Structure 1
C-alpha cells in the first residue's frame, strides 16, 4: 500500500527527475547554448517543485485498519471483520454461544491461510499518455549510451566556472609527411615524455586564453623558438630536440627524429641482349617508405673503347641516354626486383663499352644511386658477314660525321664484286642507292639529319642481309629438303639425318618469319608459289609443321624411308603453297562478313563513347585530374593516348592510328555532341539490322533480339546524355555493348550453320568456318590465329581480361563443341 501511494502521488516528480538525469548523462547540455541550458533547468526545477507539492498533498501513510481492510477484501467471507465482531444477541443461550464460537473458529482458519496482497501499481488512469514510460525509456538509453561523468560538466556552466574555463589552455597535433602513411598524433593525449616522429613532420599548436599565459620553447626546427606566445604556431621537425609548453597545464617532450633514409638500388644481374636485340638488366630497389621513380643513365665509356679503324677519330658529342626504370604496378614499393628492358640496337653506342648508372628517387625527393656498371651496351648482333660489315660502317658513320668519306669508300670496295657477296639483287641495289646518297652528302658536308637518314638506310640493309628475303628463305628451305631427300636415298647415318633435320627445321622457321615480315611490310596477302601448282593454298599452325617434321624424323629412324620420302614431299608442297593472311584478305566479302564487320565497328564506336563519358564523369568530380596519360587511353589527348583529341571523338584510336584526328573535327563539343553521336550510332545500328542474314534460324532470331536490346539501351543512353546524367548513360552504354556482343556471337553461329550447308557461303568463308577460333578471332599469319583488334581495349584492362577468362571457361564446359576446340580451350585455362 505504501508503494502504491508513493507511485500514485509522486510519479510526475519521478518522471521529471528521470528525464533531467537522462539529458545530462547524454551530454545534450554541451551541444546547446548555455542560456538554453539554464532556461530549461529553471523550468525543470519549477516543474519538480510543483510535482512535489502536488504529491505531498495527496500522500498519506497507510494505517493498520486500512491494511486489515485491504487484506480482508481478498479473503472470502471477510473473515478478519468477522473476528473483530462481537456477539450482540443470544449471549445467555448456550447453543447460540456455541454457534458463534464455531463461526469464529472457521473465520480464524480462513485468516490463518491468508497470503500477502500484491500491490496495484497501474497508473493508466492517472497517466493516459504514458509519460512515465517515455521518461523511463530515455533514462535507459542514457545508461546505455551516455555516461554519469558527463553530467558533472553541468557545473562548468556556472558563472564562476565559465570564468575559469576562459583560462589558458592549449591543443597540439603532429602531422607526419603524407607519403609515410602514418596517422596524425594528438599531443594532448600523449603523456610519455619521449616522442619519436618521422623527419619532416609538421607540429601545429594552438594557445587559448590570455596571450602570454602559455609559451612555446623548442629546439626541433631549423629556426628554433624560445618563449613564443602566438595563439597559433606551426613548425617542421628537422632534428632531435625538446618541445616545451610553459604555463597552465604545459608539458615537455624529448623529440627524437626518425630519419627518412635515401632509397637504395643495385644491379641484380648481368646486362644481356635478348633474341630480338633488347637489353635486359635486372635490378633491386628498396626504401623505407617506398620508391617513387627510377632512372637509368647510360654514358659512353670512352676510355674503354678500342680506338681502331673508324673509331680513331674524335667522336661527335652525344648526351647520355636516360631511360625510366619500370616500377611495380601493384603491391609494395618498399623492396622489389624488376627488369629494365630497352632496345638500343640502333643506338650509336650499341655493343660499345658504356657505363650504366641506376638511380632511385623516393617521395622526399632523396636520390640513391647504384654502383656504375661497366659493360658493353647489349644490342642485336649480326652474324652474316656482309651484314656485320654494314653495321660496322654504320657505327663508324654515327661515331663521327667526319667518317663519311671513309665509310663511302669501304662500302664501295665491299660492293665491287656483288656476285661474290650478295645473295639478293635487291640488297645490292639498296646498297648502291644508299652509297650514292652518302657520296652526294659528303660533297656538301654531311649534316646531322643526313647522317641519321644514311644510318637508318644502312640498318634496313643489314636486316635484309642478316635475315634474307622471302626468296632466299624459300631457296634455303628447298636446299635443306633436297639434301635430306638425297640423304634418305643414299642411306645416311642417324647422326647425319639428325643434323639435316635440324637444318630443315631452321630453314622452315626462317621461311615462316620471312612470310610474316613481308606480309607486315606489304600490308596485304603475300603468296609464294611455284609454277605448275594448282593455285590452292593451305593454312597451318607452326605446331602442325613441327609435328610433321617429327613424324618424318621418326619414320627415318625406323627405316621406313619410302613413307618418309612421301611425307617430305607433302611438306614441301604445303610450304610452297603456304600464305600469310593479314587484314581482310582478297576477294569480295560475303554479306555475313560485312554484317559482322559493321557490328564490330559499331561496338568499337560504342566503347569509345562510353570511355569518353566515363572520363567526363571523372572530370566533373576532379576537374584537375590528369587527362589521357594512360597507355590504354585510346581516345584522348594529353599524354600517351592515341588517336583522338580529348574533346572530340573518343575510343577510336587503335591499330596503327588509322582513325587519328577524327575527334578533332568535333573538338570542344560538350554533352550535346555526345548525345548526338549516340543517336547517330543508334541510327547506324538500325540500318545494320535491316537485311541481317540468318533470318528464320534460332541463332539469327537470337541475334536480332540482342540487337533490339542494344538499340533500346542506346536510346536510354542518349536520353541520359541529354539530361547530363553521365552515370546512368554509362550504365546504359554498358548494356548496349553487352547486347552487341551477344548479337555478334549469335550472328556468328548463324553464319557458321549456313557455311556448313552444301552450296552456301564462299570458299573463303568455308575456310574461316573450319578454322574458326574459339575467341572469334580471324586467321592470322602462318595459319595461326590472330587479330588486328585490341582485345584489351579501354583503361580497365583487368576487367576485360576477366571477361575473356570467364568466356573461355563457359565455352570449355559446352560438350557439343568440337574436340579440337575443347582441347585448345583447356590449354588456355592451364596456361592462364
Structure 2
C-alpha cells in the first residue's frame, strides 16, 4: 500500500515531543488533583483545628470522637484517590493535543491511505495532504491542565478548608498540634501531674495590635503597650510552677504565686518569670502611650452671617478619640463702659465639641471647627479659647490659650445695631434691664424716622413694656432669655427687612422657572415665569441699593459681607443682558445651559455688592497682576478651544471641509463665532471690520500647522513666568498659595506644549484644563492676599480691591464687554446651522463611544467628552 512514508510520520511526530510531554504532565496533575482534592481538604481542615488549639478547650471524649471522624474521612479520601487516579496514556495526550489543532493533523499523520494506493495521482494527493498535516502539527503548543473541579465540589469545601488553614497560620501555632499527644491513653496522668503552662498578652484594643501567645515567644525581651492584659494558666501539680512578676505594681491582694489562673495588667517595665519545669522568663519593656497634641492653626474666620471657622490640627500615636473647645470670657480685655461697666453675671465656660474625621486615620489630621456664636452673650467680645483632645487611654492634650474676638454677626442697620447692643447689655447683667429699656425708648422716640414697618415698632414697644414690668417685679433667667430672643428676632427683621423678602421672592421665582423647564412647560408659561423673575430681580436690586445707601450714610462697609474676591459690580443693564441670554437659551430648547446660567445668575445676585460710583486712585501692583492673570486665563481658554477643534478634525477630517466653504467671506472665517479660539490675542468687543481682519490673520496663522499652537502655548508659558516674578504678597500664606498654584499652571502648560508638538490633542486639552484650574486657584489666592493687605491698611483709600478686580475680570473667566459689562457682547455661536452641527457632533461622539472595536485611548477620551458636555 502506497502511503506517506513511515519515516516522515515518525519525523512529524518527533517534533511534538516537548508539547506532548508537557500536555501529558498537565494531564497527570489534572487527574491527581481531581482524585486527591478530598484528601487535601480533610488534611487542611484537621491541621487548622489542631493549630488553633480547639482540642485544648473541649473534653477529651470530644477530641477522641473528632479523631475517629477525621481518620475515617482520611481513609475514605485515600480510597477515593486510588479509585479515581489514572495515569494518562501517550495516546490520550496525543488526542488532547490533536483536539486543539485545526483539521486533527496528528490523527491524519497516523492514518493510512485506504483506497487509491495503486493510483500514482491519488498517492501524490495523499502525500501532499500528509505533508500539510505535518506542517500544522509542527505548530502544536502544550495544552494546559484543567484544574477546575467545581462540578465535583459544588459546596466549595476545599476553599473552606483553605480559609481555615490560613486563619490558623495567622492566629494559631504549629506547635499546638503536638498537644494532642497529651490526650492519648496514659497521657492524662502526665497532664494532671504536669507541669504545663499557657500564657497570652492581650494589648488594649485601641492599639490595633494582635494578642500574643506567650508559649511561642522565647525568653528575652518582650515589648507590650501599657495597659496590656497578661493571662497565665498553670496545669499539673500545684506548686510545680510559680509565677513572679514586677510589671503590674499590685500592692493589694495578690494571688499566690502557684495559683493556676493569674491575670494582671502591665503598667510598668519589669520582669515576668514562670519558674519550674519548662518555665520561661521575659524582660518586659512597656511601649509608652503618648498624650495627644492639639494646636490652633490660624485666627478664626467669620462668614457674612457670623459663622466662625477655626482651623486646628491634632495628633496621637494611636489616634484621637474626641475633643472639645472651651471658651471663657477675657474680662481684662473687655472695654468696661456703658452697659459693661457693672460686674457681669457668672456664666459657665462655653464648650463645643471638636469635629473629628469620620473616615481615615486619626493619628494626625487637620480639621476646622465651624460654629455660630452670634446669639451668645459673648459674641463680638474678647474671649480666650483652649482646645482639648482625648485619646483612648483617656490622656488629654491641650492647646495654648488663644485670645480672640469671638466672631458673631454684625448689624449695619443703625436701629438693629442699637437693639443688639442693648441685648448684649441685658445678657451681661439683669441689673441693666431698666437702663436697657430707657435706651430703647429713646431709640424709638421718633418711630417714623427709624422704622420701615409698623410691625417692627410695635414689637419693640412690646419688648420695652415687658422688660420694664419684669425689671420692677424681678427678672428671672427664663425671662432674660425670652427677652434676648425677642430682641434678636427684632434686630434680624430690622437688618434684613425687605431685603430678605425680595431675596425670597427671587429664589421662589427661580425655583418655579427651574421646575417648569424640567417639566417641559409650554413657551407661554416659561415666558410668564421669566417676567416674574425679572420683576423679583428688580425688587431685589432696589432693596440692595437702599441698603448700600444706608451703609454709606453710616460711613461703614461690611467686611463680612461675603468673600470679597467673589464680589462684583453689576449694573441693571448687565442683569438685563444676562436674563435676555437665559431667555434666548430657553427659546432655543437648550434647557440644560439655561438652567446652569440661571443658577449662576442667582449666585451672583446673592453675593454681589451695589456700589454708588466709580472708584478713584491708581491701579496697584496686585490689580495689575490680577488683570494679567485674567488675560492669561482667557488666552489659555482660546488655545484649548482651538486644540479641541483640531481634535475634531483629526477624528473626522471631512467635518470641517463642508463648513469652510460656508464660512468664506465671514471676516476671515473666525471673526465672531470663534473669537475665543484665538487665545484672546488682539481681539476687542466692537465687532467691527477690524476684528474680522485680525481674525482672518490668525486663521491664516492656524493653517501653518500644529507647531503654531505649540509656539503660542510656549509664549503663554513665558508670559506666565514673567507675571510670577511681579506677583505681590510674598511671604504671606495667601501669596505663597498663589505662587504654588501658578507653578502648577506652568507645569501643566509645559505638558500641553509638548503634547501639541506631538499632535496629541487629547493630552494637550487635559493639560490645558489643569492649567486653567490652577490659574483660577492662583487668582483666588491672590485676591485673598490683596484683601488681607487691604484690611491691614496697606492699600490706601479709594476703591476696594474687590471692586477694581470686579471691573477687570469676569468670575467665569470671560472677556469683559466694551462698556465694562459682564461677559462678551458677541455670541459664541452664530446661526441655526451651528446648533444643528453641535447636535450632530454630539450624536457622532455618542455613536463612536459605543463602538467597542475602537482603541481604548479613543474610547476613554470620547467618554471624557460626554462627561464634559
- The two structures have a TM-score, normalised by structure 2, of 0.40
Higher relative contact order (CA 8 A, sep 6+): 2
Q: Which has the larger radius of gyration?
A: 1
Q: TM-score by structure 1 length?
A: 0.42
